[in-house]
């Protein structure tokens, strides 16, 4: 009986509470003189929330009629939330995402050039802006430039007799890579299996090695300048064969398609991997953090302090060495139905976007060890970088070999994405697992390309 | 109670019992593994990466992850409150409405009964992925309920799964009891309240737990329809520990442990009902 | 006069109708109302979508094009086969396991019952993500993986469980056998508790064997619960998504692509909501057909 009374009491309190709280919570409509710009972002780097708030405070002080409303998403599910709202016609004004044919096809992604003046735009380096374009139209602004490459454990490289300094400067071919890296596969000092080369074949971007090696084999992008599909070229088959041979020759683990990015790092830390893919300049910071943990004994048993060197990716014989570059940044969206002065709102959005990517916002690039995207950022932050001189020199060298993106027709780009997701990705998993030969996979790609492109 | 037949039990009885215990214990140890791991990982230093390793024996013990969890965001307690409120309301609503509907579908005869029932049933056979966007448009764009408790609660107020569960559970309640009550001039609602509901208590308790746990653990819908930190539920809040490649595992697990406490409490509070064997005589008297 | 009588009659009939059935409709009114708004409306929108190429700024009607595409789509049949295999391989076994566990636990003392109920059910409250992380450790393809360590004891070489076409789906099925029986177990225990002891006592007087008691009393009286378990588990397994999403991304070579995962990809990776909707309605038709059969063979209302 008493229990029932308590239950009833709790229930009424809960119900009353819910009514009260929703009463205050639902007050979303505002008769606003000030324009609210909604920004969705992610924890981009460890200090990003702080950096963002500083930029926001600065901006709002200078533009009292514009308010920035920030929502921080999670990496795991944020994309799906965004996709849902885009397809419901209700996306935020600014999203931390690269422009893509997928979003442009909804009609809600807005080209920004009309809302920016030439002087503002001139502050951005053109190489970075190029990545924010689709079919020649600019849809957003970059926050930092990025490059992805390989990296190695200096000690293990030297043990295997590899002259990493010379490789940094001169690069290497696929054959040279195999010959040298093979020496890294052995039993290590702890009696564990060590591999010459460990790459992530599982996780979000599990097929990135394929893209990078294609790029180093004269196939930088699925679509070339004339929007022609390129993965039906026999060179694609050569790339597949090369990757497969890394596994059959024992250079990489035969469980490659289950190596997550985390596992790849674990192998690096426990000296079970001599060279890892992928690696970014920021890893110098990540690895230094882990070295500290090893010193404090808070790292898992068996982990060692690692001296990390960035390395160029090997290229096919007779092909140019190339690096996959890119940017991360903000793109601009509109809603299906906006109550108010749409044009003025878009102008304000563009202003916010500039503030979120230039000068003061460059702090993020510093944390990530990546170059600035604006001249104003360069001036403000150039003395703040802390990177080992060798790696810094390597980053500068690698930036010179970046292949700029191609500007292609969005419809064709969607088809290329479809081939990639429906055929290349699943087949690639099977290729790594030994369930599919390179020839079979190449055949599958050709068949699908014929179906979609008729070539 | 079992005393009088004890002498009849031979050695084979104890061997059988022993075997049952052994299998059950081994099995439950295994199913307990995720929970155990969650607990062990929650006692690890928030900055340590050791928690990503799977170990049976805990290597460190510190409550730092817990204090980190409670201080990293000023709304942590609010998230817990939100989750309690939302799951509580949804559970009570289901207990009330789903058991009524379950009674109607199992024991009452009325025109359109099967049609209604199968319309409800077929709706749960469509995967949620395709109704997500229309539902979002309805709740956020049409009803303008974004960032309110209503947006989270209303779609879950009565679930077809629960109606079906209650219908199945009430099917085996003897109709003779209902007829007897009718002769005693009970109204239909009176029958439901005085006869059916008490007899269906074990089923209702099970449903209450399932609903509470389901709502408590629901992540994507609350994440989708809320935007301010104060309106988030604990599951949505927990996910914000994920940062780029690395995850702050200790605090996340500490949060998961804290977040499962209400479910544990509810389970132990309601579990006595599952055992309650009801004898017909007891109800009749 | 006649008209009056007619009206009176109709009035009386209506009154009789309300008296007879009014409560029935009141009992189901709110569920139906909520259902109409939050389920049926989105569902109808999705049905419309399945005949369209969905665009947020204005969809195009394409008739049965999406359905035709799905019927000819190799990937859809592959996913359908995967899903069927998964369902056949998991649902019956898991129902038997739940029932077996419930029967075993039910004969124990009260304290033991509580203990086992808690230890089988409570792990389910840990989120699916935590559980899938544990299973990723178990299925770790390297020699240090738990499952591999286990088979090493018997001299087998290590297996790339989730990475090989022939073991990936089986591995996903196997993980359902060892965990996740908590809900079924509790449901069965609640139903077992509802069976009057007097019936068993009567059978004891007739000196019935354990098997005959199970066959003639327990099983028939548990039928409504078993039907529930069957229908719900078949629906769940036809819509299985999380394990493919969290553990294999549908690979390798689509070996673990289930229909629900395919629908997810079509909707959220390619924004082809029309195709995803068409696939969903085909899937729903299949599940409805199976459920109707289940009701037909299991649904006889049992009473004691």
Distance CA B94, CA B62 (A): 40
Listed in sequence order, the residues at least 6 apart from B269 whose beta carbon sits closer than 8 Å to its beta carbon are: none
More confident residue, C121 or A239: A239
Residue B32 has pLDDT above 90, yes or no: no
Alpha helices in B193-243 (DSSP H): 197-199, 201-217, 220-225, 234-239
pLDDT at A20: 42
Q: What percent of chain C has pLDDT over 90?
A: 36
A300: contact with B, CB 8 A cutoff? yes
CB contact under 8 A, A88 and B133: yes
Residue A45 has pLDDT above 90, yes or no: no
pLDDT at A211: 95
Residue C118 has pLDDT above 70, yes or no: yes
Alpha-carbon gap: A253 to the closest alpha carbon of chain C (Å)? 9
Distance CA A356, CA A48 (A): 11
CA distances from C204 to A14, B90, C102, C213, C214 (A): 49, 44, 21, 9, 12
Q: Name the E strands within chain B.
A: 242-243, 246-247
CA atoms within a 13 Å half-sphere pointing along the CA-CB vector of A206: 29
pLDDT at A25: 37
Residue A232 has pLDDT above 90, yes or no: yes
pLDDT at A440: 96
**A35-146+326-398: CATH homologous superfamily?**
Periplasmic binding protein-like II (3.40.190.10)
Chain C residue closest in CA terms to B35:
C123
Q: What percent of chain B has pLDDT over 90?
A: 25
A83: contact with B, CB 8 A cutoff? no
Least confident of A167-171, A371-375, B240-244: B240-244
Distance CA A89, CA B137 (A): 8
Chain A residue closest in CA terms to C262:
A422
Residue C37 has pLDDT above 70, yes or no: yes
Q: What is the pLDDT of residues C198-255, one digit of tens each?
A: 888 888 888 888 888 898 888 988 888 899 999 999 999 998 888 888 888 887 889 9
CB contact under 8 A, C231 and B33: no
Domains of chain B with bracketed CATH: 3-67 (no CATH), 73-240 (1.10.3720.10)
Distance CA B64, CA B55 (A): 19
Alpha-carbon gap: C84 to the closest alpha carbon of chain A (Å)? 20
Which of C166, C252, C271 is the closest to A87 by Cβ?
A: C271
Residue B17 has pLDDT above 80, yes or no: yes
Alpha-carbon gap: C4 to the closest alpha carbon of chain B (Å)? 27
Q: Parse chain A into domains and list their residue ranges.
A: 35-146+326-398, 147-324
Chain B partners (3+ C-beta pairs within 8 A): A, C
Q: What is the pLDDT of residues A118-140, one digit of tens each?
A: 999 999 999 899 999 988 899 99
CB contact under 8 A, C56 and A106: yes
Which of C116, C128, C195 is the closest to B28 by Cβ?
A: C116
A452: contact with C, CB 8 A cutoff? no
Distance CA B203, CA B94 (A): 12
Q: Identify the band that residue B40 occupies on the pLDDT scale cut at 50, 70 and 90.
A: confident
Distance CA C83, CA C92 (A): 14
pLDDT at B275: 62
Q: What are phi and psi of A205, to 5 degrees?
A: -105, 55
Residue B9 has pLDDT above 80, yes or no: no
What dotted CATH number matches A147-324? 3.40.190.10
| Tokens matching residue C213 | 């008691």
Distance CA B92, CA A10 (A): 11
Pairing of strands A35-41, A94-96: parallel
CA distances from C227 to A23, B165, C100, C235 (A): 43, 10, 16, 12
Alpha-carbon gap: B118 to the closest alpha carbon of chain C (Å)? 9
CB contact under 8 A, C190 and B157: no
What dotted CATH number matches C73-298? 1.10.3720.10
pLDDT at A16: 46
Chain A partners (3+ C-beta pairs within 8 A): B, C
Q: What is the mean pLDDT of residues A16-34?
A: 46
Residue B126 is classified by DSSP as: S
How does DSSP assign B33-72, residue by residue?
A: HHHHHHHHHHTS-TT-SGGGS--SS-----SHHHHHHHHS
For A77-85, the CB contacts below 8 A with 24+ separation are A77/B219, A77/B220, A77/B223, A77/B239, A78/A40, A78/A42, A80/B220, A80/C268, A81/B223, A81/B224, A82/A40, A83/C268, A83/C271, A84/B132, A84/B133, A84/B136, A84/B224, A84/C268, A85/B136, A85/B224
CA distances from B204 to B102, B281, C35, C279 (A): 11, 21, 21, 35
Distance CA C293, CA C304 (A): 24
Residue A412 has pLDDT above 70, yes or no: yes
Q: CB–CB of C82/C293 below 8 Å?
A: no
Q: CB–CB of C180/C96 below 8 Å?
A: no
Which of B106, B168, B193 to mutate to test binding with chain C, by most C CBs within 10 Å of its CB? B168
Q: What is the pLDDT of residues A256-310, one digit of tens each?
A: 998 988 889 989 999 999 999 999 998 998 899 889 988 988 777 788 999 999 9
Q: What is the mean pLDDT of residues A217-221?
A: 93
CB contact under 8 A, A258 and C250: no
Q: Look-up: residue for tokens 């009430």?
A: B170
CB contact under 8 A, B138 and C39: no
Cis omega before residue C252 (within 30°)?
A: yes
Pairing of strands A273-279, A193-199: parallel
Element (H, E) at C250: none
Distance CA A194, CA A272 (A): 4
> What SS3 class is residue C228?
helix
Element (H, E) at A147: strand A140-153
Nearest to C178 by CA among C280, C104, C90, C50: C90
Name the CA dihedral angle for A427, A433, A436, A442, rounded to a multiple of 10 degrees.
50
Distance CA A340, CA C255 (A): 51
Least confident of A58-62, B151-155, B186-190, C103-107: B186-190
CB contact under 8 A, B103 and C27: yes
pLDDT at B246: 55
Which residues of C fall within a CB distance of 8 Å from B126? 43, 46, 280-281, 283-284
A108: contact with C, CB 8 A cutoff? yes
Q: Identify the band that residue B8 occupies on the pLDDT scale cut at 50, 70 and 90.
A: low
Residue C149 has pLDDT above 60, yes or no: yes
Q: Identify the band that residue C141 occupies on the pLDDT scale cut at 50, 70 and 90.
A: confident
Which of A193, A257, A426 is the closest to C250 by Cβ?
A: A426
Which of B34, B103, B158 is the closest to C123 by Cβ?
A: B34
Which of C56, C244, C275 to mutate to test binding with chain A, by most A CBs within 10 Å of its CB? C56
Alpha-carbon gap: B146 to the closest alpha carbon of chain C (Å)? 15
Q: What is the pLDDT of residues B163-184, one digit of tens each?
A: 999 998 888 788 888 888 888 7
Residue A126 is classified by DSSP as: H
Nearest to A320 by CA among A395, A393, A401, A262: A401
How does DSSP assign C62-127, residue by residue?
A: -TTHHHHHHHH-HHHHHHHHHHHHHHHHHHHHHHHHHHHHHHHHHTS-HHHHHHHHHHHHGGGGS-
CB contact under 8 A, C137 and B54: yes
CB contact under 8 A, B168 and C227: yes
Alpha-carbon gap: A304 to the closest alpha carbon of chain B (Å)? 13
According to the per-residue pLDDT averaged within each range, which of A105-114, A334-343, B64-73 is highest?
Answer: A105-114
Distance CA B173, CA A220 (A): 70
Q: What is the mean pLDDT of residues A83-101?
A: 93
pLDDT at A17: 45
Instruction: Tell me what the pLDDT averaged over chain A comes to.
Output: 88
Q: Parse chain C into domains and list their residue ranges.
A: 2-49, 73-298
Q: Identify the band that residue A184 occupies on the pLDDT scale cut at 50, 70 and 90.
A: very high
Q: What is the pLDDT of residues C77-115, one digit of tens each?
A: 999 999 999 999 999 999 999 999 999 998 888 888 888
Q: CB–CB of C189/B275 below 8 Å?
A: yes
A421: contact with B, CB 8 A cutoff? no
Chain C residue closest in CA terms to A258:
C163
Which of B37, B124, B202 is the closest to C190 by Cβ?
A: B202
Q: What percent of chain A has pLDDT over 70?
A: 93
């Amino acid at each position: 009986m008493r229990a029932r009374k308590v239950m009833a009491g709790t229930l009424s309190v809960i119900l009353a509470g819910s009514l009260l709280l929703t009463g205050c919570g639902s007050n979303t409509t505002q008769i606003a003189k000030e324009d609210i710009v909604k920004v969705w972002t992610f924890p981009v780097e460890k200090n990003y929330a702080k950096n963002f708030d500083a930029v926001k405070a600065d901006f709002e002080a200078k533009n009292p009629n514009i308010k920035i409303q920030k929502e921080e998403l999670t990496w795991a599910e944020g994309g799906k939330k965004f996709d849902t709202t885009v397809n419901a016609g209700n996306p935020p004004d600014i999203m931390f995402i690269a422009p893509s044919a997928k979003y442009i096809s909804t009609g809600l992604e807005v080209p920004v050039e009309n809302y920016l003046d030439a002087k503002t735009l001139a502050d951005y380096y053109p190489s970075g802006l190029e990545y924010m374009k689709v079919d020649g139209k600019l849809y957003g602004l970059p926050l930092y430039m990025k490059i992805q490459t390989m990296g190695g454990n200096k000690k293990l490289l030297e043990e295997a007799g590899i002259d990493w300094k010379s490789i940094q400067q001169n690069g290497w071919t696929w054959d040279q890579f195999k010959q040298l890296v093979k020496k890294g596969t052995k039993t290590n000092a702890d009696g564990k299996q060590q591999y010459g080369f460990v790459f992530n074949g599982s996780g979000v971007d599990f097929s990135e090695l394929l893209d990078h090696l294609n790029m180093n084999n004269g196939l930088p992008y699925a679509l070339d300048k004339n929007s022609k599909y390129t993965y039906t070229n026999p060179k694609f088959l050569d790339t597949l064969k090369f990757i497969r041979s890394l596994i059959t020759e024992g250079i990489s683990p035969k469980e490659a398609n289950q190596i997550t990015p985390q596992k790849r790092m674990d192998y690096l830390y426990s000296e079970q991997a001599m060279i890892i893919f992928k690696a970014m300049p920021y890893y110098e910071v990540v690895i230094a953090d882990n070295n500290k943990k090893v010193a404090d004994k808070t790292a898992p048993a068996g982990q060692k302090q690692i001296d990390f060197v960035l390395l160029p990716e090997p290229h096919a014989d007779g092909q140019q060495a190339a690096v996959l570059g890119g940017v991360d940044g903000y793109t601009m969206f509109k809603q299906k139905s906006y109550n108010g002065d749409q044009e003025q709102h878009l102008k304000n959005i563009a202003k916010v976007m500039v503030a979120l990517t230039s000068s003061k916002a460059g702090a993020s690039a510093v944390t990530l060890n990546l170059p600035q995207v604006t001249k104003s950022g360069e001036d403000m932050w150039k003395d703040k970088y802390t990177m080992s001189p060798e790696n810094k020199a390597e980053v500068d060298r690698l930036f010179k070999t970046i292949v700029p993106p191609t500007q292609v027709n969005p419809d064709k780009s969607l088809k290329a994405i479809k081939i990639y997701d429906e055929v290349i990705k699943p087949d690639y998993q099977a290729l790594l697992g030994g369930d599919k030969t390179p020839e079979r996979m190449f055949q599958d790609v050709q068949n699908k390309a014929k179906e979609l492109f008729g070539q | 109670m079992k005393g009088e037949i004890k002498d009849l039990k031979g050695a084979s009885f104890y061997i059988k019992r022993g075997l049952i215990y052994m299998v059950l214990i081994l099995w439950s140890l295994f199913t307990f593994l995720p929970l155990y791991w969650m607990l062990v990982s929650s006692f690890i230093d928030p900055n340590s990466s050791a928690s990503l390793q799977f170990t049976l024996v805990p290597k460190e013990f510190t409550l730092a992850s817990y204090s980190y969890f409670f201080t990293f965001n000023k709304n942590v307690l609010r998230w817990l409150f939100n989750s309690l409120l939302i799951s509580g309301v949804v559970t009570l609503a289901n207990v009330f409405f789903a058991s009524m509907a379950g009674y109607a579908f199992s024991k009452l005869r009325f025109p359109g009964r099967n049609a209604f029932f199968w319309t409800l049933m077929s709706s749960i056979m469509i995967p949620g992925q395709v109704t997500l966007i229309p539902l979002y448009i309805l709740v956020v764009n049409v009803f303008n309920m974004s960032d309110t408790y209503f947006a989270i609660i209303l779609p879950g107020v009565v679930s077809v799964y629960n109606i079906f569960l209650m219908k199945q559970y009430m099917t085996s309640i003897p109709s003779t009891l209902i007829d007897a009550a009718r002769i005693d001039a009970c109204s239909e609602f009176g029958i439901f309240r005085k006869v059916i509901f008490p007899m269906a208590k074990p089923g209702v308790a099970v449903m209450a737990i399932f609903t509470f746990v389901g709502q408590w653990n629901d992540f994507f819908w609350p994440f989708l329809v809320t935007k301010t930190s104060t309106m988030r539920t604990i599951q949505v809040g927990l996910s914000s520990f994920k940062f780029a490649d690395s995850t702050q595992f200790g605090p996340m697990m500490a949060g998961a442990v804290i977040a499962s406490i209400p479910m544990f409490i509810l389970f132990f509070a309601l579990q006595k009902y599952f055992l309650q064997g009801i004898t017909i005589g007891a109800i009749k008297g | 006069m006649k008209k009056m009588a007619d009206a009176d009659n109709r009035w009386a009939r209506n009154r009789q109708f309300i008296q007879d059935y009014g409560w029935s409709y009141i009992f189901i009114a709110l569920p139906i109302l909520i259902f109409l708004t939050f389920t049926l409306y989105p569902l109808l929108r999705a049905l419309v979508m399945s005949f369209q190429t969905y665009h947020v700024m204005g969809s195009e009607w394409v008739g049965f094009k999406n359905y035709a595409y799905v019927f000819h789509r190799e990937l859809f049949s592959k996913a359908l086969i995967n899903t069927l295999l998964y369902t056949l391989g998991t649902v019956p076994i898991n129902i038997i396991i739940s029932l077996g566990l419930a029967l075993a636990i039910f004969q124990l003392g009260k304290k033991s019952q509580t203990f086992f109920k808690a230890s089988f059910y409570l792990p389910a409250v840990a989120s699916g993500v935590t559980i899938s992380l544990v299973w990723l450790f178990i299925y770790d393809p390297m020699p240090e993986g738990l499952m591999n360590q286990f088979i090493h004891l018997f001299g087998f070489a290590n297996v790339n469980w989730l990475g090989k076409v022939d073991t990936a789906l089986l591995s996903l099925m196997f993980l359902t056998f060892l965990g996740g029986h908590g809900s079924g177990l509790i449901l069965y225990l609640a139903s077992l508790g509802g069976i009057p002891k007097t019936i068993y006592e009567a059978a004891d007087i007739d000196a019935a064997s354990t098997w005959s008691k199970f066959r003639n009393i327990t099983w028939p009286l548990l039928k409504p619960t078993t039907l529930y378990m069957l229908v719900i588990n078949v629906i769940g397994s036809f819509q299985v998504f999380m394990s493919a999403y969290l553990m294999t991304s549908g690979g390798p070579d689509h070996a673990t692509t289930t229909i629900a995962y395919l629908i997810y990809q079509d909707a959220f990776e390619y924004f082809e909501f029309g195709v995803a909707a068409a696939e969903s309605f085909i899937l729903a038709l299949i599940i409805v057909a199976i459920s109707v059969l289940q009701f037909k063979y299991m649904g006889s209302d049992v009473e004691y």
